[in-house]
Structure 1
């Protein structure tokens, strides 16, 4: 699916430290808290979140409340101000203690809502997005055009490359949105519900493509609704969040053994992602159900807090990846005028 010539397997900015498998890029967040203030007092959208991901991994965030997953990605993309609260926590990128702004400057953020020009074609949209960040170098322009062609083919958009955006299906628009951000070739790609509204086949296709993209030495972090078991197996790490707290974080293959060990095994023939997200969801059907589910969630949160393994040693500070080229304001105005 992924074109090896246009998107080589070896990321030029990825390194292996000391030959011991400490690969970069390596992103950690430690003790992340996001506090909002309202009429009811302080609310923690995120409460003590600690997780990490390395190049080559897909980290899936499964949250009982969609705003929790979106808030986590907004924090990584330095767009948390829209939630109107206060952010605390440590961000460590390639061994460097850094800020959300520096992480965001080196990441691509694929948000749910995007405003494409409805009368432009798929190819024109991709060309315009690349044009806004163009350096003007002729050789670079040729490379970008080749990558655009590669993304169109790889993401199954070749049949609609001359179709106007307003005539695309939901799945095609979502894949176009992903393609626009993958053009940036960043080490970290953040995606908020990229498969929302897609059928199972298109979801499988896109997640598998993102897995292959990560295999080139990049980090992919996405929020997602509970996927099928087949799609679940494509994921490297899972962060399961409820009431702003981690119910589980770790490798996907260790998730079922962990819950079995604490006496919550997944029943046979059940989809693990569905089952465990239901397990940590507050039940509002009745007062009794609410009480029982809240007690269970509190117990699971406390159990994981006590059992969570420490994040890996970030190692010595290494160079950060290059920043994403900022959009050229003059070119944006020219594009709007045209």
Structure 2
């Protein structure tokens, strides 16, 4: 019954008997006239089902002792929408509304059967990214940026790379006016502590970001969630205007007001992943009346029919009764003329001959998109991160001075070191603190400041704006100046006040080690935050890793040669081993020590101490620096791999 273009004898590698390569060589995508593009944009969802795997039983049994259950989240859903229509998908919690949008946008990880068509071309990830924008339920915006800055940075990432600053500014201004944000254009987004724009305005900013690319299809997941009735009506009115101006707008909603009913052109009601009704909104009352479920007078039709298609799980009797009613509604809809009409429209659209514009769209979407270059994306992210933190005084002061808060404690506790035998222990204690404090402080900074950037990355990565590598390189470049300044302040005070090796080269070596450890600690935290979304868990795990590594590998608390073999092997792959050797070699090499009659054990100089506990540390100085640098770079690469392996959560 359903045939592809190849089944009908059409060769998709030629356009009107002319090879595609020849066409691309003779003209660009901009050379086609408007009549080449279909006049009526359509989106068709045909018999789509979605199945996920679930582990049965408690997690501690492990994969080998738990069975796998296949859960059907969406079953045989058909949907047809065209430009000029506002379509609302309704249903109670867990009915499959968000999953249906995820399927259309290609953001699911389970097994999908059925087809999704854009016009009469089967959707691919490239086509979805090119023509569809998805507004998720939660707003993920940086609180310290203004509305205009938020949209400008997004435009630099989303719009073609050949657009100049004037074109981007013009596009941003038009979207601001379209979404009614002109009066708050230069107001900060705001957050939980510092108030900014209202919740409804934040929703409109999130939608405006997706409108920058002028998508053909706009998907919105619960756009009215958390909004008051007036703001919700205003927002739906904006979406209706967009739809009637030529876009396909599909939204999910679970608590619709009665006055929103007339704004919807089409309504779909889901229950347990199955469609109970999909069709024109003005026909819905008649349809359910024919099914012997008339809407009571003065009742909200949307609320009433969503309740009618819900299962009451308060007790077994209610559950069985409502489940039987829902099954009846599903069967009646599957055999109704409304369902047959929807399927007929889908078949009619998908069986149309493909135009040359559609064929080129299907095969060369990535060429047409013309994404910004790597460097433009990199410096846009870097600029946005920097502006965001500099707008928040506590954040950048923490970046610069948190490490320095440990300086008074170290200086008061140790004072100015002498060159006696007892000063050997004091110097070792100072080396231990110098290696442990910088990574611990960087853990605190990263846990406090990285999560908003990470959540925004998840959203923009889903939209295909830039890669994980680009994001993390931008973050490294963003943190480097702050790490360098804070490490320099810490090193300058601690080194000269405590009276360590009074040479310029010795100070530079000490400062370099503190800097590398500070930066490494932040990168380790980023790796952990790629694995754990919860900042508290990431904080505890990162601090544990840094502390345990320093205890086992530095050699300051216990000689490495006296540890069990496993810890000795572990130390060779640990940054603290090489950092510790550099610090002690830098301080004890040629250090003069005095002996008195009360000294039971006398070390004539620092070289004697090095020979006993850190042999070859001086000779291995260059090697150790290379090892530290390599481990820092390796940690950055591991963070990239951790984000890629862990994947991108939807964060609805």
What is the TM-score when the length of structure 2 is the normalising length? 0.46
Q: Who is 1:106 aligned against?
A: 131
Q: Counting helix residues as a fraction of each chain, which structure ranks higher?
A: 2
The answer to whether 1:297 aligns with 2:326 is yes
Q: Who is 2:412 aligned against?
A: none
Larger Rg: 2
8 Å CA contact retained: 1:133, 1:325: no
CA distance in 2, matches of 1:46, 1:180: 29
The answer to whether 1:337 aligns with 2:337 is no
CA distance in 2, matches of 1:336, 1:127: 12
Higher RCO (CA-CA < 8 Å; seq separation 6+): 1
Q: Counting strand residues as a fraction of each chain, which structure ranks higher?
A: 1
**Is the alpha carbon distance of 1:163 and 1:16 closer, same or farther for their aligned partners in structure 2, counting shifts above 3 Å?**
closer
Counterpart mapping for 1:223-302 below 5 A:
223-302=252-331
The answer to whether 1:316 aligns with 2:340 is no
Q: Who is 2:74 aligned against?
A: 46
Q: Who is 1:32 aligned against?
A: 48
Q: Who is 1:130 aligned against?
A: 155
**Is the alpha carbon distance of 1:203 and 1:15 closer, same or farther for their aligned partners in structure 2, counting shifts above 3 Å?**
farther
Q: Who is 2:208 aligned against?
A: 179
Q: Who is 1:147 aligned against?
A: 171
Paired residue total: 318
CA distance in 1, matches of 2:284, 2:181: 35
8 Å CA contact retained: 1:76, 1:104: no
**Is the alpha carbon distance of 1:147 and 1:67 closer, same or farther for their aligned partners in structure 2, counting shifts above 3 Å?**
farther
8 Å CA contact retained: 1:15, 1:24: no
> 3-state DSSP class of the match of 2:96?
helix
- In the TM superposition, residue 56 of structure 1 has moved relative to its aligned partner by 0.5
Q: 2:183 aligns with which of 147, 159, 162?
A: 159
CA distance in 2, matches of 1:269, 1:53: 29
Question: Which string of whole-angstrom CA distances, capped at 9 and with x for unpartnered residues, describes residues 24-53 of structure 1?
Answer: 211101000000121352211100000110
CA distance in 2, matches of 1:13, 1:216: 17
> 3-state DSSP class of the match of 1:90?
strand
- In the TM superposition, residue 159 of structure 1 has moved relative to its aligned partner by 2.2
> 3-state DSSP class of the match of 1:165?
coil
Q: Who is 1:71 aligned against?
A: 99
8 Å CA contact retained: 2:258, 2:302: yes
Compare 42-51 and 91-100 and name the one that shifted more: 91-100
Q: For structure 2, which runs of at least 5 residues remain unmatched after alignment? A: 1-32, 57-68, 191-195, 384-652
CA distance in 1, matches of 2:165, 2:103: 32
Q: Who is 1:121 aligned against?
A: 146
RMSD: 2.2
CA distance in 2, matches of 1:115, 1:239: 28
